[in-house]
Amino acid sequence: MQNEGSNYKHVSIGSLKDVTRQELHEALALSGVEVSLNRMAAGQAVPFLHSHKQNEEVYVFIEGKGTFVIDGDEIEVGEGSLVRVDPAGQRQIKAAADSDLFFVCIQATAGSLTQFSMTDGVIC
């Protein structure tokens, strides 16, 4: 399903249970952030340690449990965990041996946010 107006785009990707990794920049015509949906099978890990040149990331953990390594620190994550990582932070995620891990990752250029809801919102 897809709907589109001059000021919005709506798509449905179906069941989130079927998602392994879905980047949404093309589907939603994103121009200021990158958003991805990610499901890692139990015991699965990102196969590399990585950082970014410009983008900070926010991870929203929806379901399951796992370990998030940032600059050598191991953080236990699970449903309700929220993590922000600076671009230079070296990161890697691993799902627990007994649990899938489902999370949303949001990326934006670090330092680019100049207004928040209370200062950018306009009551119509």
> Could you report the per-residue pLDDT of 5-44, keeping only the tens digit for each?
889 999 998 898 889 999 999 999 999 999 999 999 999 9
Indicate whether 71 belongs to any domain: yes
Indicate whether 56 belongs to any domain: yes
Q: Which residue has the tokens 């390594």?
A: 69
Indicate whether 12 belongs to any domain: no
Q: Is 19 helix (H, G, I), strand (E, B) or coil?
A: coil
pLDDT tens digits along 67-117: 999 999 999 999 999 999 999 999 999 999 999 999 999 999 999 988 888
Of 46, 48, 23, the closest CA to residue 33 belongs to 23
Indicate whether 124 belongs to any domain: no
Indicate whether 2 belongs to any domain: no
Helices (H) and strands (E) in the chain, counts: 1, 9
Torsion of CA 56, 61, 65, 69, to 10 degrees: 10
Do the bridges between strand 55-70 and strand 91-95 make them parallel or antiparallel, or are there none, so unpaired? Answer: antiparallel
Reported as type and span, the H/E element at residue 120 is helix 117-120
Domain count, the chain: 1
CATH classification at residue 79: 2.60.120.10
pLDDT for the residue 36: 96
Give the range of the structural domain holding residue 26, as residue numbers without chain letter. 19-111
pTM for this entry: 0.91
d(CA 85, CA 83): 7
In the predicted model, what is the mean pLDDT of the chain?
94
Asked whether the beta carbons of 88 and 66 are under 8 A apart, the reply is: no
Indicate whether 5 belongs to any domain: no
CA-derived radius of gyration, the chain: 16
Cα 13 to the center of its chain, rounded Å: 16
Indicate whether 3 belongs to any domain: no
Indicate whether 120 belongs to any domain: no
Asked whether the beta carbons of 65 and 77 are under 8 A apart, the reply is: yes
Place 1 in a pLDDT band, splitting at 50, 70 and 90: low
